[in-house]
Amino acid sequence: MMTMTRTQWSNALVAAALVSSSACAAGAAPARARTDAAAAVRAAHELGVGDTPEAALHMAFAEEAVAEGESLIRSGQMESAERALLRAHADAELAMALRREAMALAEAAQSHSHVEEQRESTIGPDAKEAS
Amino acid sequence: MKLERRVGTLAIATAVLSAGCAARGVSPQLSAARMIMGSARNGSAQQFEPDQVLVAQRNLELAEAQTDGSTLEAHYAYLSERETRTAIANSHRAIIEGVQHEGRPVAVPITAPVPRRLSP
């Protein structure tokens, strides 16, 4: 059976370290950031962010950042790609929050007008003057 | 003579470069993030979405720790600003829904006869 000398072991370790460091330099694609950004963008679309102007604007930023991230992944700039995808995720989350806020506001306004209608039909149109 | 000229040129170049660095301020993203964080801390976001505000605060601290005007500073500040605004929007929604929820029982007497005047 072949045994390795101390020098061979150290050469092997140096080679392994070099391979490992070159792999880190090239970097793997930021899978987590990519998945999170894609999921947030999809969820935002499903929520109908396009119907709220401010939310739609942030959705556009998110999609732009996703495209930037994908382009950076293709060119091997993984750290920059990850940052772009994190920004995309943050914009998609903001788009959803703005959409939900607008929906809650619309629902509140609708229920308020419904209450007002009921009030008028029950106590008459001059209720405001009387109260 | 040549050496003196080279040293002089190097000194001028260093001075120009360091002046340029000194003049470079923080990124617009950091200014925006600081401003929005200030209003979140004093508003409903701190009350209704403290965890989200804390996450945004951490990114703001990371931005503050970077070199002024750097790409990383702008990146962390951008995240912080978006997260703070998300917290603010979520807190607004919580308020709207809370008011609506509290308002529902008030709607109950509407179906029952309501006196035109409470007092003569």
Contact A122 B78 (CB under 8 A): no
| Residues in chain A where the model's pLDDT stays below 70 | 1-7, 9-26, 124-131
pLDDT band at B57 (very low <50, low <70, confident <90, very high): very high
Better pLDDT: A108 or B13:
A108
Contact B89 A111 (CB under 8 A): no
User: Three-state SS for A59?
Assistant: helix
Closest C-alpha to B79, from B41, B39, B40, B52: B52
Over 80: is that where the pLDDT of B45 sits? Answer: yes
Considering CB atoms only, which of A86, A115, A119 is closest to B79? A86
CB contact A101 to B (< 8 Å):
yes
pLDDT band at B21 (very low <50, low <70, confident <90, very high): very low
Query: Measured between alpha carbons, how far is B75 from A89 in angstroms, rounded to an integer?
Result: 13
Region B19-37 average pLDDT: 83
pLDDT for position A57: 98
User: Three-state SS for B40?
Assistant: helix
CB contact A44 to B (< 8 Å):
no
Residue B83 neighbours by CB under 8 Å, 6+ apart: A90, A93, B52, B55, B56, B59
Mean pLDDT over each residue of chain A, to the nearest integer: 84
Q: Which residues of B touch A94 (CB under 8 A)?
A: 82, 85-86, 89
Residue B104 neighbours by CB under 8 Å, 6+ apart: none
Could you report the predicted ipTM of this complex, rounded to two decimals?
A: 0.73
What percent of chain B is modeled with pLDDT above 70?
64
Let me know: does B81 contact B67? Beta carbons within 8 Å. Answer: no
> Looking at CA atoms only, how far is residue A7 from chain B in angstroms?
43
* Long-range contact set of residues B57-63: C-beta below 8 Å, sequence gap at least 24: B59/B33, B59/B83, B60/B33, B60/B34, B63/B29, B63/B30, B63/B33
* Single-letter amino acid code for the residue at A40: A
Over 80: is that where the pLDDT of B72 sits? Answer: yes
Q: Work out whether the CA dihedral B69, B75, B80, B83 comes out positive or negative.
A: positive
Angle made by CA atoms A56, A81, A16, in degrees to the nearest 5? 160
Over 90: is that where the pLDDT of B5 sits? Answer: no
Minimum Cα–Cα distance from B93: chain A residue: A101
> Looking at CA atoms only, how far is residue A14 from chain B in angstroms?
33
pLDDT for position A114: 74
What percent of chain B is modeled with pLDDT above 90?
60
CB contact B90 to A (< 8 Å):
yes
Minimum Cα–Cα distance from A89: chain B residue: B79
